[in-house]
Structure 1
Amino acid sequence: MKRLTQKLLSLLALLSAEVVVLWAVFFGCLLLFLAMANEVFRQGDTALDDALFRFADGHTSPPVTRLMIGISFFASAEYLLVVPPLVVLVLSFFKGLRWLGLKVLLISMSSAILNQVMKRIFERPRPEMAMLEQSGLSFPSGHAMIGGSFYGLLIYIVWQTVPHRGWRWALILLLTLLILLIGYSRIYLKVHYATDVLAGYAMGLLWLLLSLYLMRRLEEVFVEKVEEKQA
């Protein structure tokens, strides 16, 4: 009995720590987004953007440029129109993972729509010195926001489903590195400012956390209704 009580207390402590961390990340993302918006649209401070452009200029070369274009593709509209549905299709073959597939579809689509709405609200033009021709507006970065939420969701799925600890952490680190490189590629190619990318990261993660919470609540309501019908 004593051992069972200790295990329950340990579990409650772990759950409490997870809740605290999630809330801290959520509000941290919100504060980061507000800070970037304030820096750009109220203060007009370009110090961070200029510093990151200078840093990128320090190692600009044709091979690096080709690499950055390739990395940037992994969060392009063409890529994200195809890959999330493929992920959904693969997950649909596994009975226990179909709900995760629905999450991939809904979160990917909703983050893309939200990004376009936010760009229309802020209406920040892209950098004039862009190395690629890109249409649309700049704040927040769609690659950082939509790609961040998509790959962040894949990290969540890996954490939930990959049993082997080594493979789980290897995949998580690989996906995290890809998220960071995608954001940097947009700065390197000068199609986004650093503040666009940071705001995109913040809003992408914030939307991912909010979406996962809302879908979990829907899942709980659905399970409760099923149990009531069976009773």
Structure 2
Amino acid sequence: MKYKRYLLSAFLVGLVSLIGFSFMALLISGPRIVRFDQTVISLIQGFESPKLTTVMKLFTYIGSFPSMFGICLLVSLFLYFVLKHRAELLLFGTVIIGTPILNHILKQYFHRARPDLHRLIEIGGYSFPSGHAMNAFAVYGILSFLLWRYIPTRLGRGALIMISSIFILMIGTSRIYLGVHYPSDIIGGYFASGFWLASSIWFFQRYKEKQFERIHFSENKG
């Protein structure tokens, strides 16, 4: 029964994420989203200070490729050599490798220029959806999924979700604060990554369900 519940949850999250991303994709060329983006950027950058800039640069670095690569490498080694979970490692690799590929495809399709209102760092490339937002959501989302079953207490699980959510939100916010992304880029990135993550988990849970049914059938037959 638990596999059915997980499959339904992954399907619903994937569906909501797909609808949300489609909605954002339609809005990014309209005047309403421009006003929304400018309002949120002005609000967040209104808190600018040297100390806060340092913090935001730190979170942006945490969401960058070198930092994410290091985290993913450690997690992969842990899954393979310590837990010896080959299927979970395949899921983890699929999510992590697929996310930047999907981000590149989407950026090339939408060709949205980055904001030029007030940049605190310089960066090239297209803006929608945010690669940092997608990577953060994918990495901390899949880590939460994989670690959830090994945390026995409700308090521990709550802390896991809270810490993951803080990192996801702060990495996204740092990109707005530093002036290299619109808020709609971040929201679109979360939705795009949510769809990819949920779809990957759905196929993984479907595989686990089939594996459980085969083992259960063999035991009953024996």
Same fold (TM over 0.5): yes
Q: 1:20 to 1:110 in 2, by over 3 A?
A: closer
Q: Report percent identity of matched pairs.
A: 31
1:156-171 correspondence to structure 2 within 5 Å: 156-171=145-160
Tell me, in whole angstroms, the C-alpha distance in 2 between the residues paired with 1:138 and 1:25.
24
Tell me, in whole angstroms, the C-alpha distance in 1 between the residues paired with 2:31 and 2:13.
25
Tell me, in whole angstroms, the C-alpha distance in 2 between the residues paired with 1:222 and 1:170.
31
Alignment-derived partner of residue 21 in structure 2: 33
1:190-229 correspondence to structure 2 within 5 Å: 190-221=179-210
Alignment-derived partner of residue 77 in structure 2: 89
The CA deviation at 1:108 is: 0.3
Root-mean-square deviation (CA, aligned residues, Å) is 2.7
Are 1:116 and 2:92 matched, yes or no?
no
Alignment-derived partner of residue 175 in structure 1: 164
Alignment-derived partner of residue 68 in structure 1: 56
> Which is greater in Rg?
1
Tell me, in whole angstroms, the C-alpha distance in 2 between the residues paired with 1:24 and 1:215.
15
Tell me, in whole angstroms, the C-alpha distance in 1 between the residues paired with 2:206 and 2:100.
22
Residue deviations 1:2-26 (CA, integer Å, cap 9, x gap): xxxxxxxxx78x966x666544432
**Which 5+ residue runs of structure 2 have no aligned equivalent?**
none
Q: TM-score, normalised by structure 1?
A: 0.83
Tell me, in whole angstroms, the C-alpha distance in 1 between the residues paired with 2:37 and 2:192.
18
Greater alpha carbon shift after TM alignment, 192-201 vs 71-80:
71-80
SS of equivalent residue, structure 1 residue 161: coil
Q: TM-score, normalised by structure 2?
A: 0.87
Tell me, in whole angstroms, the C-alpha distance in 2 between the residues paired with 1:95 and 1:158.
11
Paired residues in the alignment total 218
Q: 1:66 to 1:125 in 2, by over 3 A?
A: same
Q: Of 33, 41, 54, which residue of structure 2 is paired with 1:53?
A: 41
**Which 5+ residue runs of structure 1 have no aligned equivalent?**
1-10
